[in-house]
């Protein structure tokens, strides 16, 4: 599951650290917690759009998810 901008990196989710452009910090933290709960409840893999270390483990090209 893509975290989009709710959590840019795994570390930002783990520390509940949000991007500077977030206009509602309380809603932002709530969204991060919802992502964590959803992933836990459904066994979803979280994919971070701005996390180079995690990106290296993603399947790309012909190794797509399907």
pLDDT in tens, 39-58: 999 999 999 988 889 888 88
Residue 35 within a domain? yes
Residue 1 within a domain? no
Residue 5 within a domain? no
pTM of the model as a whole: 0.79
Residue 2 within a domain? no
Residue 35 confidence (pLDDT): 95
Q: How many domains does the chain have?
A: 1
Q: How confident is the model at residue 20 (pLDDT cuts 50, 70, 90)?
A: confident
CA distances from residue 49 to 53, 60, 66 in whole angstroms, order as listed: 11, 13, 19
Residue 34 confidence (pLDDT): 96
Residue 12 confidence (pLDDT): 93
Other Cβ atoms closer than 10 A to 7: 27
Residue 40 confidence (pLDDT): 97
How many Å separate Cα 29 from the centre of its chain?
12
Residue span of the structural domain in which 23 resides: 10-63
């Amino acid at each position: 599951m893509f975290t989009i901008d709710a959590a840019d990196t795994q570390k930002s989710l783990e520390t509940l650290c949000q991007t500077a452009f977030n206009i509602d910090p309380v809603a932002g933290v709530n969204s991060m917690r919802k992502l964590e709960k959803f992933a836990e409840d459904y066994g979803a893999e979280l994919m971070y759009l701005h996390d180079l270390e995690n990106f290296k483990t993603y399947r790309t090209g012909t190794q797509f998810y399907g």
